[in-house]
Structure 1
Amino acid sequence: MADSSSMDMDQDVARRLFEEGATLVLMGVPQGTELGIDCKSWQVGPRFRGVKMIPPGLHFLHYSSVNSPSCGTEIGPKTGLFLNLKPRQILLANWDNKEEDLNFTASQNEEEVNRIRANLQDLDPFLGPYPYEVMRKWVSLTDHLSEEVATKLQPLSGRICAFSDVIPELQLTHTKDREEQNLPRNDTACQSMREGLDKLPRMKPREGTELRFSVIPEKMYPPGATPAEITQYSLDLTYAMETLLETHHKLRPLDLLGELQFAFVCFIIGNVYEGFEHWKGLLALLCRAEEAIRRHKELYLGLIAVLYHQLGEVPPDFFVDIVSQDNFLTSTLQDFFQFASGPGVDGSLRKRAEKFKAHLTKKFRWDFDADMEDCAPVVVELPEGIAMD
């Protein structure tokens, strides 16, 4: 880690961070480990002992272990965790070679922390400064994400892993057990890939390792809805969105934006695909809730600001590879812009939505005014008497 970031801030800010900033002391991290905080990462050098001058508040520490150089360097899957750091706090962790993870139990040893604090000046040359140049970007990506929301959504294990730790749903160690579950025997040859996949046990995340996202309602309509009502609730997802708010964010509806930001950070920085899937699900719910857009002005003004910063930070090929898949983002935002321009929508929200639409059209050349039905499959009427098998 180099000290270049300290040159990017003025002397007053540097002095304030030196006096008030938190310090992460990370002992024993193997050379070559890819380690980062918030939106920046580095490869750890031989002198690395941690990060200093960290602005107080919520941060995302992330790292990927490396194997022995004698085996050829390979970077492992990323692990991350949210930390809420207080002014002048010293957080101490030791690298666990067996687990290939950071162990923070040393931070609970007050005597050890005080010893580090007393010798901080000697440790200073081995501490890299917080990359202040990414601070503005980090704040813009997490301004609705509180420590409380991050703690609630983070796995009980405290670790967010790019690859889930999974175990079989059922322990089927014997052929008899497999037969009882109507699964094929392991000792028979597979005739197809499908048959081979069917032989694999169903997996589930190990308890305590799963992300605890809000549950998006499976049914978008209330119990007892008529077919006509089901159609209406499926076109306007307000009922489903209000149900999610009532269940998970009743006291602070804007925490839903914090959850959207948490999911985005998990994907963009933590490489957790589940974060992207949840981000998509929340976005579809928010953008397709016509009545809610009229009811929740502050929530939707906030949503536009959140999306503005998120879409400004993704790599260019991200849209081609993932977001543009099935035209998800453009069709979802097209619905939002249509509803935001409808009757009964607050004037300031309507104007903000129009500006955001113009910004996206200019930046990404997306056409939100195209008729999406032009892309729908053509229904071919067959002459009477001709059937298709």
Structure 2
Amino acid sequence: MANSNSVDMDPDVALRLFKEGATLVLLGVPQGTELGIDCKSWQVGPRFKGVKMIPPGLHFLHYSSVNSPSCGGEIGPKTGLFLTLKPKDIMLANWDPKEEDLDFSASQNEEEVSRIRATLQDLDPHLGPYPYEVMRKWVSLTDRLSEELANNLQPLSGRICAFSDVIPELQLRHTKDRAEQPRNDTACQSMKEGLNRLPRMKQREGTELRFSVIPEKKYPAGATPAEITQCSLDLSYALETVLEKNHELQPLNLLGELQFAFVCFLIGNVYEGFEHWKSLLTLLCRSEEAMRKRKELYLGLIAVLYHQLGEIPPDFFVDIVSQSNFLTSTLQDFFQFSSGAGIDGTLRKRAEKFKAHLTKKFRWDFDADLDDCAPVVVELPEGVTVD
């Protein structure tokens, strides 16, 4: 493993971590593959055979295959999976060159795992240490995400892929089926016509992320026009519907789902994760009635957002989010509701501190009328800071 500079630690501590920590033995991973765990990644070297000293708990293993230098050395799309490891665990995988993926079926072979365990000391020079310098960051990004929830959200295939695995909706296995499709041997008269000629695609079954479905209609059936208007201004009905259908017994799991979506986007490069993160954030921040009823959910939301927004460079929002002014307008609603009547005092104070923190960090003014193009920048006098 190249460029794996780990934090200096006491030799006795390192020995204890080697004995008590989990080990991922990853055999046959091609040299040059980009591979990482949690918030750190490396380029695999010729001697690499896995990662050692992994703290017990939930982790995200991710990797991207790389073409040989003769083929340009291009990096493929990222693949990732969530793993839960116990103390002294050994998880064994072999690289499948045909699928360009890790095959973990060997972990089910007790004899093979026992053999690896007996020779673990010999493997030690080929194992890269877990990057403890990013452990605090990883824990802060996933403290609400349990093993059960991660397993329920990731695809049935067990792989989270940056590019969706899609297949045609119509398989067209027979000549007759293909003959009935529009011909493509004439020039298209418009972009719409060209798009209509393309085969309709769908995601391969079992590869879909299993996020909570957010209802398109944000109001109950049979709602009056006044009720529809109210449910459009305050999304509490839609939020309660999502909680009831997906997290009825543990409403705070919605924060774990928010973290899962964020990790999929931030580390796994899955754009769908970003879109779902935005949808959940909109639902939470624009639910005034729920904010009065669910103090713990919203105290947790502030903590989750504090760590998430700390991991993204400020210019990210300028380049992407603020094109539609999503984050600033959404948080403006949140701060407005959190200062309203009937809000718990602790939640109100926590929201005020969070608002001041974001104003200082990003120089956004959440009290001003936001325009449609960019965040409002607060021009602070020289030497003045916001605590």
TM-score per shorter chain, which class?
A: over 0.9
- Residue pair 2:27, 2:50 contacting (<8 A) in 1 also: yes
What CA distance in whole angstroms lies between the structure 2 residues aligned with 1:335 and 1:361?
Answer: 15
Query: In structure 1, what is the equivalent of residue 6 of structure 2?
Result: 5
Secondary structure at the residue paired with 1:5?
coil
**In structure 1, what is the equivalent of residue 324 of structure 2?**
326
Residue segments in structure 1 that go unaligned for 5+ positions in a row: 377-389
> 1:90 — aligned with what?
90
Give me the CA root mean square deviation.
Answer: 1.7
The correspondence of residues 70-109 of structure 1 with structure 2, limited to 5 A, is 70-109=70-109
| Cα distance change on mapping 1:174 and 1:256 into 2, 3 Å | same
- Are 2:4 and 2:42, in contact at CA under 8 Å, matched by a contact in 1? no
Q: Deviations over 1:257-279 (max 9, x none)?
A: 00000000000000000000000
- 1:146 aligns to what? 146
Query: TM-score, normalization: structure 1?
Result: 0.92
Partner of 1:119: 119
Q: Which moved more, 1:310-319 or 1:104-113?
A: 310-319
In the alignment, is residue 54 of structure 1 matched against residue 50 of structure 2? no
| Distance (Å, rounded) in 2 between the aligned partners of 1:10 and 1:336 | 46
1:6/1:14 contact within 8 Å kept: no
Change in Cα spacing, 1:363 to 1:6, as seen in structure 2 (3 Å) is: closer
In structure 2, do the counterparts of structure 1 residues 375 and 126 end up closer, same or farther at CA, with 3 Å as the change threshold?
closer
Residue 106 of structure 1, CA deviation: 0.6
Q: Which amino acid aligns with 1:118?
A: A
- In the alignment, structure 1 residue 300 sits paired with structure 2 residue 301: no
- Answering whether residue 35 of structure 2 is matched by residue 22 of structure 1, we say no
Amino acid of the residue matched to residue 164 of structure 2? S
Aligned residues: 372
Distance 1:136 1:329 in 2: 26
Instruction: Out of 34-43 and 188-197, give the one that drifted further.
Output: 188-197
Q: How many Å separate the matches in 2 of 1:96 and 1:127?
A: 20
Contact 2:79 2:268 in 1 (8 A): yes
The equivalent of 1:195 in structure 2 is 193
CA distance in 1, matches of 2:188, 2:172: 19
Contact 1:77 1:161 in 2 (8 A): yes
Deviation, 1:17, is: 1.8
Any idea what SS the aligned residue of 1:353 has?
A: helix
State the shift of 1:196 in Å. 1.6
Instruction: State the identity as a percent.
Output: 84
- Once the two structures are superposed, residues 46-75 of structure 1 have per-residue CA deviations (whole angstroms, 9 ceiling, x without a partner) of 010000000000000000001122111100
The answer to whether the 8 A contact 1:163-1:272 is kept is yes
For structure 2, the residue ranges without an aligned partner over 5 or more in a row are 374-387
Following the alignment from structure 1 to structure 2, what is the Cα–Cα distance between the partners of residues 32 and 265?
Answer: 24
Kept in 2, the 8 Å contact 1:175–1:185? The answer is no
Equivalent position SS for 1:156: coil
- Alpha-carbon distance in 2 for matches of 1:252, 1:12: 41
* Letter of the structure 1 residue corresponding to residue 91 of structure 2: L
* Cα distance in 1 for residues equivalent to 2:73 and 2:269: 20
Could you tell me how far 1:287 is from its partner in structure 2?
0.2
Give 2:45's aligned residue: 45
Match of 1:63 in 2: 63
CA distance in 2 between counterparts of 1:296 and 1:172 reads 51
How far did residue 251 of structure 1 move?
0.6
Corresponding residue number in structure 1 for 2:354: 356
Letter in 2 for 1:103: D
Distance 1:135 1:123 in 2: 24
